[in-house]
Chain A
Amino acid sequence: AQSVTQLDSHVSVSEGTPVLLRCNYSSSYSPSLFWYVQHPNKGLQLLLKYTSAATLVKGINGFEAEFKKSETSFHLTKPSAHMSDAAEYFCVVMSNSGTYKYIFGTGTRLKVLA
Chain B
Amino acid sequence: SAVISQKPSRDICQRGTSLTIQCQVDSQVTMMFWYRQQPGQSLTLIATANQGSEATYESGFVIDKFPISRPNLTFSTLTVSNMSPEDSSIYLCSVLRADTNTEAFFGQGTRLTVV
Taking Cβ atoms with an 8 Å cutoff, the residues of A that contact B are 32, 34, 36, 42-44, 46, 49, 51, 90, 94, 99-107
Contact = CB atoms under 8 A, between A and B. Distances in A.
Nearest to A103: B45
Interface of B is mostly: strand
B102 A94 contact: yes
B42 A43 contact: no
Contact of A105 (B42, B92, B96, B109): B42
A46 B45 CA distance: 18
Interface in B38-76: 41-45, 48, 56
Interface string B96-115: 10000111111111000000
A78 to B, nearest CB: 21
A100 B109 contact: no
B48 A42 contact: no
Interface residues of B, number: 22
Contacts of B104: 34, 46, 100, 102
B106 A44 contact: yes
B108 A42 contact: yes
A73 B108 CA distance: 29
A102 B94 contact: yes
B91 interface: no
B42 A101 contact: no
Nearest to B109: A43
A101 B106 CA distance: 13
Nearest to A41: B111
Contact of B102 (A43, A49, A99): A49
A20 to B, nearest CB: 20
Contact of B42 (A32, A51, A99, A106): A106
Given A44-B92, A90-B43, A105-B42, A100 B106 contact: no
Nearest to A46: B103
Contacts of B92: 43-44
A55 to B, nearest CB: 17
B42 A104 contact: yes
B95 to A, nearest CB: 10
